Structure 1
Amino acid sequence: MEAAKRFARGGYDVIIDGIVGPWFLDPWIKVLQDNYEVHYIILRATKEETMNRAINRSKLDDNINIELVEKMWGQFNNLGIYESNIIDTTDQSTEQSVSTIKAVIEKKSSLLTI
């Protein structure tokens, strides 16, 4: 977190990529209190597409991938107040997703607030 803040203070745009559900937002809320701009964007495809993508990963075997994705899908399927922060990547290429993310950041439509 501190490294990200240093880069931001240095004028860099900082993107943190990971699995960050609403239950992990407390550190980011603290960053807001330090007057940083924090966008919370969730990339989510349909369950079917998510499962297809997971099965094609080679890091874990199929059964473990399926089990993990089933669990994460359930956790990210209904995000309440954060549903508007979702970008549906089902039919998007990587390039299209990047363009959509950039547009959301420019519009400031997924900013976290205190």
Structure 2
Amino acid sequence: MSNVLLLTGPPGSGKTTVARLVATDAPRPTVHVTTDEFYRAIRTGFIAPYLPGAQRQNEVVVDVIVATVSVYARGGYDVVVDGIIGPWFLAPFRAAARDWSMSYVVLRPDLATTLERARSRAAGELKDVAAITGLHGAFADLGELEPHAIDTSAFDPAATAAEVRKIVASGDYLLGA
């Protein structure tokens, strides 16, 4: 059975860097899916996913991501998905997770650390303070999924990746279908 890791959190939390480390050092054949690429594929009519009016676009993109993850998982690959996958977008993943296990890990450094990390992101990446603050707030209270959040404020990427590997191996962050 394939394993899928949904690695999420606000912009600047380290998702892509950590996902790359986790996928690269995996003990089984593993794919790293960066959700940003699916949004970047929209060449005409793109709406920044955090803006009003983006809901339908976001639903379509999530469906495409779920389909991609499903094909890799059915092919025997483990998959590390990095992106802003809040609880509001878990239903399609849960519906598809019949033949694979799925862990959900939220990287949640404090807001000051998140903003500092976002400032040092590459050109073209989201650096808008208001948008990042709003998305950070969206992950502030995960309800029943609160135990899936880890404070990575004091962790560098290698330490965060090690913590994520440990968490996933424990099985404590599994989501049911």
If the TM-score is normalised by the length of the shorter chain, which range does it land in?
Answer: 0.7 to 0.9
Q: Secondary structure at the match of 2:78?
A: coil
Aligned pairs, number: 112
2:120 equivalent in structure 1? 56
The answer to whether the 8 Å contact 2:105/2:148 transfers is yes
Out of 70, 75, 92, the residue aligned to residue 138 of structure 2 is 75
Q: Secondary structure at the match of 1:69?
A: helix
Moved over 4 A (4+): none
Q: Secondary structure at the match of 2:107?
A: strand
- Give aligned-pair identity as a percent: 29
Alignment partner of 1:31 is 2:99: no
Alignment partner of 1:11 is 2:102: no
Give the TM-score normalised by structure 2: 0.58
Alignment of structure 1 residues 81-100 onto 2, 5 Å: 81-100=144-163
5+ residue gaps, structure 1 = none
Change (3 A) 1:80 1:3: same
Note the C-alpha offset of 1:2: 2.6
Note the C-alpha offset of 1:61: 9.2
- Alignment root-mean-square deviation, CA: 2.0
5+ residue gaps, structure 2 = 1-65
Greater per-residue strand proportion: 2
Q: Secondary structure at the match of 1:14?
A: strand
1:108 equivalent in structure 2? 171
The answer to whether the 8 Å contact 2:107/2:150 transfers is yes
Q: Which amino acid aligns with 2:144?
A: I
Q: Which amino acid aligns with 1:18?
A: G
Q: Secondary structure at the match of 1:59?
A: coil
Matches of 2:71 and 2:169 in 1, distance apart? 21
Alignment partner of 1:2 is 2:67: yes
Q: Which amino acid aligns with 1:16?
A: V
